[in-house]
Amino acid sequence: MADRAVRETKRKRKEKKRETSVFFFDYTLLFITLFLLAFGLLMVYSTSSYVAELKFGRANYYFVKQLRNTLLGLVAMIIAANFDYKIYKRFAPWIYLLSLALVFAVLVVGKELNGSKRWIIIKGISFQPSEFAKLAVIIFLAALLASIGSKIDDIKTVAKAFALVAPTFVGIAITNLSNAIIVMAIALIMIFVSSRKYMQFVLTGMILVFVGALYIMKVGYRAERIDAWLHPETAKNAGQTLQGLYAIGSGGIMGKGLGQSIQKLGHVPEAQNDMIFSIICEELGLFGAVSVIVLFALMIYRFAIIIKHSNDTFGSLIVVGVLGHIATQVVLNIAVVTNTIPNTGISLPFISYGGTSVIFLLAEIGVVLNVSKCIKIEESDVEEG
């Protein structure tokens, strides 16, 4: 009788399982982001202090500007982390149209700096619309793909999705092919993850490679970059690539020490920007380079965890888009610095100097943190044993 009563009690407890909602917030992702920001500020000062002293008479010129923009980015991250991401779905088309208008406004009222017309400057404040466009494309495609659902398996639907993003790609490519490639990579990754059919992506990839080859053949300076990639020792305009390789090779296992780079003393132009990874290799060696790569790998892993546990498709796809953005930029930057691919002028997220970039990257992290904050993990009473 006693055993029967125990079994009956256990049965009733099973039937009355109490579910509680435990809200999940990814502090690990937050810590990784803050560490990368602090490390980036340190490396910006290390790589730029000599040139800043020569140009502006202040060794901390670039550091102060990057610190100011980082603080603005942190404010954007905090706001985004506490703003319900589901609201973006309602306004996704308008956010996208605003970004598209800004991208094409650059062609009319944009300011040319360092030979590229990529910025809109209002009362001394510069703004790069292509960075906003990346976030806008992520939100827009996440809303679109979440509403399409299983229809994305149809090749016509895939083509329509790409067609909607194509104007942004074209508008950015006119002045900045590098960021246009990132926008297209974001779209490809998000649509690829949403679809269960893969052959259409193989065909799309082949078409993009063909179009890219035609573009390179028609635009002279792109062909020069290919030549510099294949023959860095002899090609014209290969100085940046070659000096970057010298920096990497001279760093060894543990590096020359923080602040001890030789290549940053004018040999690698704008070392605080796209080529900052080469200075990291020179000053901190293979150990420093691998540490940076591991941190980005951990960040991507945290994105994957959030994607897995997200409660809705829209939130998951936003995180997929941010993952695609950061992963693509990291891979392309390191590939360029190591001369694995031709020079494309892509910055290293959170580390390279660049105001608009760090602000919108941190805004993206804020949105991802909000997605993680809204995750509810259902727990049940565990049967005692």
What is the pLDDT averaged over residues 315-342? Answer: 92
Evaluate whether residue 282 is within a structural domain. yes
**Contact present, 138 and 364 (Cβ < 8 Å):** yes
Q: Label residues 3-17 b or e (16+ Cβ within 10 Å = b).
A: eeeeeeeeeeeeeee
38-51 pLDDT, tens digit per residue, is 999 999 999 999 88
Confidence band of 16 (pLDDT split at 50, 70, 90):
very low
Q: How confident is the model at residue 21 (pLDDT cuts 50, 70, 90)?
A: very low
Q: Is 375 helix (H, G, I), strand (E, B) or coil?
A: strand
Residue 9 inside a domain? The answer is no
Nearest to 28 by CA among 242, 342, 300, 228: 300
Q: Are 372 and 25 in contact (CB under 8 A)?
A: yes
Sign of CA dihedral 229, 175, 328, 295: positive
Higher model confidence: residue 62 or residue 118? 62
Q: List, edge to edge, every strand of the sheet that includes 111-113.
A: 111-113, 116-122, 125-127
Residue 271: count of CB within 10 angstroms of its CB? 30
Report if residue 11 sits inside a domain.
Answer: no
Boundaries of domain holding 163: 21-379
Q: Is residue 118 part of a domain?
A: yes
Is the model's pTM score more than 0.85?
A: yes
- Find the length of the chain: 385
Q: Which region among 10-14, 65-69, 293-297, 338-342 has the lowest average model confidence (pLDDT)?
A: 10-14
Q: Which region, left, alpha or beta, applies to residue 296 given φ > 0 means left and ψ of -120 to 50 means alpha?
A: alpha
**222-266: pLDDT as tens digits:** 556 666 656 566 556 655 777 788 888 888 888 898 888 888 887
Helix (H/G/I), strand (E/B), else coil: 122: strand
In angstroms, the Cα distances linking 298 to 23, 292, 327, 328, 369 are: 22, 10, 11, 15, 15
pLDDT-above-90 percentage for the chain: 43
Which residues have C-beta within 8 Å of that of residue 61, sequence separation ≥ 6?
A: 48, 52, 55
Which phi and psi angles does 117 have, rounded to 5°? -100, 85
The Cα–Cα gap between 306 and 328 comes to 19
In a domain, 47, yes or no: yes
Which positions ≥6 away from 98 have C-beta within 8 Å?
Answer: 136
Mean pLDDT taken over the chain? 83
Closest among 319, 358, 364, 266 to 37, alpha carbons compared: 358
Cα(78)–Cα(362) distance, integer angstroms: 9
pLDDT class of 90 with cuts at 50, 70, 90: very high
CA distances from 89 to 138, 331, 380 (A): 11, 29, 32
Contacts of residues 90-98 at CB distance under 8 Å and 24 or more positions apart, as own/partner, are 92/139, 92/140, 92/142, 92/143, 92/144, 93/140, 93/143, 95/136, 95/139, 95/140, 96/136, 96/137, 96/139, 96/140, 96/168, 98/136
How far, in Å, CA of 317 to CA of 320, rounded? Answer: 5
CA gap 16, 108 in Å, rounded: 66
Nearest-angstrom CA–CA distance, 68 and 77: 14
User: What's the chain's Rg over C-alpha atoms?
Assistant: 24
Q: Is residue 5 part of a domain?
A: no
Inside any domain, residue 111? yes
Distance CA 339, CA 347 (A): 15
365 or 150, which is more confident? 365
Answer whether 263's CB lies under 8 Å from 271's CB.
yes
Domain membership flag for residue 13 = no
State the total domains in the chain.
1
Coil, helix or strand for 117?
strand
Q: Write the pLDDT tens digit of every residue in 278-307.
A: 999 999 999 999 999 999 999 999 999 999
Q: For 123-155, what is each residue's pLDDT tens digit?
A: 767 788 899 999 999 999 999 999 887 777 777
Place of tokens 């008479």: 57
